Structure 1
Amino acid sequence: MKNWKEIIRHNTFRYIDHSTENTVAGKPNTALASFAVDDALAISVSEETSPPVVRLWVHADTIVLGIPDSRLPHITDGMAFLDKNHHRGIVRNSGGLAVALDEGVLNISLIIPGADKLSIYDCYEAMVRFVQAMFADVTDAIEAYEIVGSYCPGDYDLSIDGKKFAGISQRRVKKGISVQIYLDIEGNSQARASLIRDFYHIAKQNKETTFTYPEVNPDVMASLSELLGVSLTVEEAKQRVVNTLEGLTEEMITIPMQETEQKHFDKRYQQMIKRNEHL
């Protein structure tokens, strides 16, 4: 694996904390808005009207589906199941499959330029290195490899002792790259995984599909609080993001949403709404 400095050569980062906001860019602060915000920021970073960005976001009781999930044979039944269990289901525009979000899950977006130069793997490795640095004082056991039986499985699942606490997805817009990770910080990981397991059972109903959906095993999922044996909170994890970023860069700045970013957001938000209309 490359280290952070081999991949990220920028010394100034824009820091945005949307984790406690009620509205973002004039819209309710939902996962729909978050994916549109990241697209708008990726365009700004691509056009060099913004430095690279680290953005934090948290959403209550949301199941974020991947595009393949929207093609499940009984997706309407699956969405009704989520609604019955007081969760909102939305389809994102980045890669991956279903993940569970709530107030115990911190999402981090690393938004950088260089889609024409940086490989997909470089960007995943940058995020892995960032998270390892976040928790370096309490563990050196964070590994990146696929955890079979987890939801949204992939080569860059983050785990400790074989139990997954984080997954990474990636989206490229123009020359901007948004690397998004969810970190299961606190709360009931098994309940989250059970909900997604049951969603797949209901939305698939043993039908043959060309796409292979995961058989979710809640026992391979855990929160960082559980894995580290400490009472870690999302607020504490947010402070670790700030501390880590300060240690890896020379300057952190905050910039309000720019006029051009608002325009890009409005367009991307409507695309997210349209993507989800049929669900």
Structure 2
Amino acid sequence: MHTNSSLLYQHEWRMIDHTSRGSHFEALQSFAFDDTLCASVGSGQSQSIARSWVHYNTIVLGIQDTKLPHLAEGIRFLEEKGYRVIVRNSGGLAVVLDEGILNISLIFRDTEKGIDINRGYQAMFKLIRKMLEKYNVLIEAKEIVGSYCPGSYDLSINGQKFAGISQRRLRGGVAVQIYLGVAGSGSARAELIRDFYSLSLKGEQTKYSFPEIKPETMASLSELLGEELDVQTLMLYLLQTLKNESEKLFSSQLKEEEMELFYYNYQRIIDRNTKVLEEL
């Protein structure tokens, strides 16, 4: 018996799968997609949406990272390592995206009373626990000190973080977003971000605090579960779980009116990102 107290249970889930768009699919487009879908769900034009996506070798910086004293040097280091660098339009700190990382957004309508911020986080936490149920492991939601982009809803197994959750509210919609380290080395990703901060800070004191990254605090699900997992496998778990948490799950692309708003949002995000990076 389902109770509607959990946001994860929706009468209908609309699924938009962007995981196989390839290496030319840019993370800035993902922010524009989620902003567009927030407006669509917020205005009641769409039911709740789950969107999945993958981006190749991209470092996403938070606004706070733009205050690093030697950021230009840090960015040059990342670019030399073959990463694109962009700045997202919300809080948080630097994260790594690559083909071993699955990103999921759950997009809800912000109701009259407003969706309490913890309810959004809890819905995503519940989704991941259900997706990984068969592995019979304890997944905890708490800040993992020493990880990159630490937050109170870091997901970990035995103290090693494999995922981070964030939220964005816009035009009556709430997007709860997670990055899931599925394959590859969690500690190698953490080392990359540690070196980026080291070059961007050069030991200077700043009024903002940046994480002191300990690579051993991070791992991928493949490492933690001792099984070679990939994004496709996790997508299967995602679809099975959403099917169980709804009367109806259907696959969809953007509607015509959503595409128009997407192009507008995308251009705005490109302009903003260019401006932020040009100011460095």
> Is the structural similarity TM-score above 0.5?
yes
Correspondence for 2:264: 267
Tell me which moved more, 144-153 or 248-257: 248-257
SS at match of 1:6: coil
Correspondence for 2:10: 10
Correspondence for 2:53: 57
Determine which of 200, 205, 221 is the counterpart of 2:202. Answer: 205
**What are the residue-to-residue correspondences of 1:128-147 with 2, within 5 Å?**
128-147=125-144
Correspondence for 1:82: 78
How far is 1:53 from its partner?
A: 0.5
Tell me which moved more, 78-87 or 250-259: 250-259
Determine which of 251, 254, 258 is the counterpart of 1:257. Answer: 254
**What are the residue-to-residue correspondences of 1:26-37 with 2, within 5 Å?**
28-37=24-33
How far is 1:274 from its partner?
A: 2.0
Change in 2 beyond 3 A, CA 1:5/1:276: same
RMSD across aligned C-alpha pairs, in angstroms?
Answer: 1.6
How far is 1:265 from its partner?
A: 1.1
- 1:210-261 Cα distance to aligned partner (Å, 9 max, x none): 1111011100000111111111111100100000101111101233312221
How far is 1:5 from its partner?
A: 4.0
**What is the rounded CA distance, in whole Å, between the counterparts of 1:60 and 1:85 in structure 2?**
13
Question: Contact 2:137–2:157 at 8 Å: present in 1 too?
Answer: no
Correspondence for 1:118: 115
How far is 1:115 from its partner?
A: 5.7
- 1:125-154 Cα distance to aligned partner (Å, 9 max, x none): 110011001001112300000000000000
The code of the aligned residue for 2:141 comes to: A
Correspondence for 2:124: 127
The code of the aligned residue for 2:20 comes to: T
**What is the rounded CA distance, in whole Å, between the counterparts of 2:184 and 2:162 in structure 1?**
11
Correspondence for 1:165: 162
Change in 2 beyond 3 A, CA 1:115/1:180: farther
Question: Contact 2:185–2:223 at 8 Å: present in 1 too?
Answer: no
Question: Contact 1:65–1:90 at 8 Å: present in 2 too?
Answer: yes
Q: Would you say 1:107 and 2:103 are equivalent positions? A: yes
Question: Contact 2:22–2:55 at 8 Å: present in 1 too?
Answer: no
Q: Would you say 1:236 and 2:228 are equivalent positions? A: no
Change in 2 beyond 3 A, CA 1:130/1:188: same
**What is the rounded CA distance, in whole Å, between the counterparts of 1:260 and 1:71 in structure 2?**
37
- 1:3-31 Cα distance to aligned partner (Å, 9 max, x none): 984132521011011011249xxxx5210
Change in 2 beyond 3 A, CA 1:63/1:115: farther
**What is the rounded CA distance, in whole Å, between the counterparts of 2:94 and 2:229 in structure 1?**
24
Question: Contact 1:94–1:169 at 8 Å: present in 2 too?
Answer: no
Aligned residue pairs, count: 273
Question: Contact 1:95–1:170 at 8 Å: present in 2 too?
Answer: no
Q: Would you say 1:20 and 2:20 are equivalent positions? A: yes
Question: Contact 1:67–1:95 at 8 Å: present in 2 too?
Answer: yes
| Poorly superposed stretches of 4+, deviation over 4 Å | none
Determine which of 152, 156, 164 is the counterpart of 1:155. Answer: 152
Unaligned runs of 5+ in 2: none
Unaligned runs of 5+ in 1: none
**What is the rounded CA distance, in whole Å, between the counterparts of 2:255 and 2:84 in structure 1?**
29
SS at match of 2:29: helix
Question: Contact 2:58–2:85 at 8 Å: present in 1 too?
Answer: yes
What TM-score comes out, normalization by structure 1 length? 0.94
Question: Contact 2:71–2:200 at 8 Å: present in 1 too?
Answer: yes
What TM-score comes out, normalization by structure 2 length? 0.93
